[in-house]
């Protein structure tokens, strides 16, 4: 299934603004993050755990246990973003 990824602030500087990827049904945000971190060194550095990265699913803050659905938007950003 296709998922829209959005990146903000410092993460955007490394990975770009967005990308669309295919993922298996039933994947969680945490599993998606793990898959992204395994896909490239840039993704691993930008999405590393322990640096306060936050995530949102369809414009709502979420935990990594949230299940992603077809066509969903998953956003990753640092704990503080500016205008």
Residue 53: predicted pLDDT: 87
Residue 70: predicted pLDDT: 96
Q: Summarize pLDDT for 26-83 with one digit per residue, the tens.
A: 999 999 999 999 999 999 999 998 878 899 999 999 999 999 999 999 999 988 755 5
d(CA 37, CA 16) in angstroms, rounded, equals: 15
Torsion sign (Cα): 11, 16, 19, 24: negative
Residue 44: predicted pLDDT: 96
Where in the sequence is the domain holding 28, given as residue range(s)? 2-63
Residue 21: predicted pLDDT: 96
35 in a domain, yes or no?
A: yes
Residue 17: predicted pLDDT: 95
As for how many domains the chain has, the answer is 1
25 in a domain, yes or no?
A: yes
Torsion sign (Cα): 3, 4, 7, 12: positive
46 in a domain, yes or no?
A: yes
| pTM of this structure | 0.91
20 in a domain, yes or no?
A: yes
74 in a domain, yes or no?
A: no
Are the CB atoms for 76 and 61 separated by under 8 Å? no
């Amino acid at each position: 299934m296709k998922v829209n990824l959005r990146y903000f602030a410092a993460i955007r500087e490394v990975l770009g603004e967005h990308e669309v990827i295919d993922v298996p049904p039933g994947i969680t945000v945490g599993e998606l993050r793990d898959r992204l971190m395994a896909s490239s060194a840039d993704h691993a550095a930008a999405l590393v755990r322990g640096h306060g990265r936050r995530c949102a699913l369809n414009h709502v803050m979420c935990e990594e246990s949230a299940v992603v659905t077809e066509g969903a938007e998953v956003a990753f950003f640092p704990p503080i973003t500016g205008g």
